[in-house]
């Protein structure tokens, strides 16, 4: 039987993107980019978000594509941001159909109709993309934000990437693995922490290097630390946009704290099972916590 330590190494590997997933993400990126360029003046575009930072978890969905608009679209910057999002929505509906396109706070989601199986496997296919219209502003960007009273949010995904890379290097190259595991727990529990990027932002501060060498205890402590700090305001790591935590009201934070404490306690119970020689039960306890991607063998 596989040991818990071996299971965690296998779990970490399962959460990493495969070549097939990367290839499909590139194909979809090119497909959406080439189409949107027939509808808008797009100066440049790039994949960003947790996909770019390698903190995206499985199954692969909501991959962010930043579409930086050119001079011919600057007139849209003087109008309500909802109009820009509506224009992107209308354009993508033409290609993918109304049932597969939806508006978000800052982006338009295109769903490709890919469904994971019981083991959360999509056969290397991407489930969805988020198209984010953006304008250059000085050395960063401004994007529409219907949840921001100002209408627009300043952001810099390059700074987010740099901070994640530094954290990975400082944490013995294990930071991203722990973040992906915590995000997998969050998804398995119907996302009590929203957005999932908040977990990553909290990890920048709460995962203090160096890596302790044991995923079990690192995750137990991380869940407990997040529970203790979930009511704090967590600013944009780039220092530009609104707090990343601004989407959670007090009731949602209270509920998230309860879930996070439950996760820390469940981790402690799984560790105790292993320490008393109940390896199989410990593996099943960890799978209950993280879902079917956590291996039993």
> Do 282 and 231 belong together in one domain?
yes
Same domain, 172 and 258: yes
pLDDT tens, position by position, 95-154:
999 999 999 999 999 999 999 999 899 999 999 999 999 999 988 999 999 988 889 999
Residue 185 and residue 54 in one domain = no
The pLDDT tens digits for 184-215 are: 999 999 999 999 999 999 999 999 999 999 99
pLDDT reported for residue 1: 80
In a domain, 31, yes or no: yes
Task: Give the pLDDT confidence of 17-50 residue by residue, as tens digits.
Answer: 899 999 999 999 999 999 999 999 999 999 999 9
Q: Is the model's pLDDT at 86 over the cut of 90?
A: yes
50 and 138, same structural domain?
yes
Q: Give the per-residue pLDDT at 205.
A: 97
Domain holding 65: CATH number? 3.30.460.90
Domain that holds residue 236: 4-12+159-290
Tell me: do 106 and 142 sit in the same domain: yes
Domain boundary residue among 140, 157, 174?
A: 157
String of DSSP letters for the chain: ---HHHHHHHHHHHHSPPHHHHHHHHHHHHHHHHHHTTTS-EEEEEEEHHHHHT---SS---EEEEEEE-GGGGGGGGS-HHHHHHHHHHHHHHHH-GGGEEE-SS-EEEE------TT---TT---EEEEEEEEEETTEEEEE-TTSTTSEEEE-HHHHHHHHHHHHHHTTT-HHHHHHHHHHHHHHTT-SSSSTHHHHHHHHHHSPSSP-S-HHHHHHHHHHHHHHHTTS----TTSSSS-GGGG--HHHHHHHHHHHHHHHHHHHHHHHHHHTT-HHHHHHHHHHHH-TTS---
Q: Is residue 115 part of a domain?
A: yes
End residue of a domain, out of 132, 157, 182: 157
- Give the pTM: 0.93
Percentage of the chain surpassing pLDDT 70?
100
Cβ partners under 8 Å of residue 130, min gap 6: 49, 62, 63, 64, 65, 104, 107, 108, 109, 110
Same domain (yes/no): 150, 220: no
Answer yes or no: do 187 and 119 share one domain: no
pLDDT at 3: 96
Say whether both 114 and 227 belong to one domain.
Answer: no
Residues in the chain: 297
In the chain, how many domains are there? 2
Domain boundary among 113, 131, 157: 157
């Amino acid at each position: 039987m596989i040991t818990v330590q071996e299971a965690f190494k296998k779990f970490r590997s399962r959460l990493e993107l495969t070549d097939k997933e990367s290839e499909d993400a590139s194909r979809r990126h090119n497909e959406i980019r080439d189409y949107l360029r027939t509808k808008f003046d797009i100066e440049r575009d790039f994949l960003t978000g947790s996909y770019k930072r390698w903190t995206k978890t499985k199954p692969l969905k909501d991959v962010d594509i930043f579409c930086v608009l050119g001079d011919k679209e600057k007139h849209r910057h003087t109008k309500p941001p909802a109009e820009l999002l509506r224009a992107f929505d209308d354009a993508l509906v033409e290609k993918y159909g109304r049932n597969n396109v939806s508006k978000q706070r800052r982006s338009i989601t295109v769903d490709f109709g890919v469904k994971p199986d019981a083991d959360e496997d999509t056969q290397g296919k991407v489930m969805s993309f988020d198209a984010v219209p953006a304008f250059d502003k000085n050395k960063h960007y401004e994007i529409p934000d219907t949840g921001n009273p100002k209408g627009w949010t300043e952001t810099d995904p390059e700074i987010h990437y740099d901070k994640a890379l530094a954290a990975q290097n400082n944490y013995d190259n294990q930071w991203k693995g722990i973040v992906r595991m915590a995000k997998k727990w969050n998804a398995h529990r119907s996302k009590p922490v929203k957005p999932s990027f908040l977990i990553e932002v909290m990890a920048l501060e709460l995962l203090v290097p160096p890596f302790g060498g044991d995923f079990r205890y690192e995750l137990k402590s991380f869940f407990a630390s997040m529970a203790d700090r979930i009511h704090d305001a967590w600013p944009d790591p780039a220092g530009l946009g609104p707090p990343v935590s601004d989407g959670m009201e007090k009731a949602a934070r209270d509920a998230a704290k309860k879930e996070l404490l439950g996760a820390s306690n469940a981790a402690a119970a799984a560790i105790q099972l292993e320490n008393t020689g109940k390896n199989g039960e410990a593996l099943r306890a960890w799978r209950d916590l993280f879902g079917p991607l956590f291996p039993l063998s």
